[in-house]
Amino acid sequence: MVAITGNRDGTAAVDYTVNAALGLPFITGPEGFEGPVNHVLPAWDAMTGFLAATAILAAERHRRISGEGQLVELSLSDVGLAVTGHLGLIGEAVLEEEPRGRFGNHVYGTFGRDFITRDDRRVMVLALTPRQWRSLVEATGLSGEFRNLEARLGLYFNNEGDRWRGRHEICELLQAWIAVRNLTSVTAAFDANKVLWGPYQTFKEMVAQDPRASGSNQLFALVDHPDLGSYPTPGSPLRFGGAESVPPRPAPRLGEHTEEVLREFDL
């Protein structure tokens, strides 16, 4: 059995109150912005759900091996605190004198930011490794410009930290290159050179244009949901070599499987 609470002591908390206390809203948003910026992804709810499923599997395995059951307790705030600690943010807060600031859409400590194409589409472009940086340089044909920039700034962009330090100047060059090309042209150049990038999409654009969110991806199937209608519905993202994937089904109605579960465990 897994018991999920808001806080470890059983008091109430939800994703958005947990996130508010972790410091993340104060490093989210544009540089110079005052006050917190809430995110719209319920990250701690999602992570807690996946951890709960893992806990059930671990407890069931323990019972098969030892014959003993387990009560597993899990709180949203502990999940948030654990992830924040594993990301190094707690250690940084203790060890560094200056607090982490806001850096807008820059990926902290490396190179990554959004850019606007000639046809007003936005793309996210990253270079986290030396190979990815070389791919970006080759795709844009800006090797000479970047070498001159390295010499002027005294940096070496194969080094991740130097890409971070030179991020504003790199972005100026890259934005100028992207700004005169439409998304189709940028896509062709980046994909041909294996650049780490992706387009920004609204939900509507995703379901209309992205094959990963369509029936061509075996994750999805068209499912009829009572009282709602039919739409592509994802199944489990796990793929096992020795078992067929379970096709997605409509979400159960509240209490639909209660009797089935009770019969299974003779309750």
Please list, in sequence order, all residues whose beta carbon lies within 8 angstroms of the beta carbon of residue 11, skipping any fewer than 6 positions away.
5
Is the distance from CB of 112 to CB of 128 less than 8 angstroms?
A: yes
**218 dihedral zone (left: phi>0; alpha: psi -120 to 50; beta):** alpha
Active-site residue, from 45, 78, 114, 162: 45
- Tell me whether residue 266 is one of the annotated catalytic residues: no
Is the distance from CB of 179 to CB of 118 less than 8 angstroms?
A: yes
Query: Quick one: how far is CA 211 from the chain centroid?
Result: 19
Is the distance from CB of 18 to CB of 83 less than 8 angstroms?
A: no
How far is Cα 52 from Cα 75, in angstroms, rounded to an integer?
10
Q: Where are the alpha helices (DSSP H) in the chain?
A: 15-21, 43-66, 76-86, 89-95, 130-140, 143-153, 160-165, 167-179, 183-192, 203-209, 258-264
Catalogue the active-site residues: 45
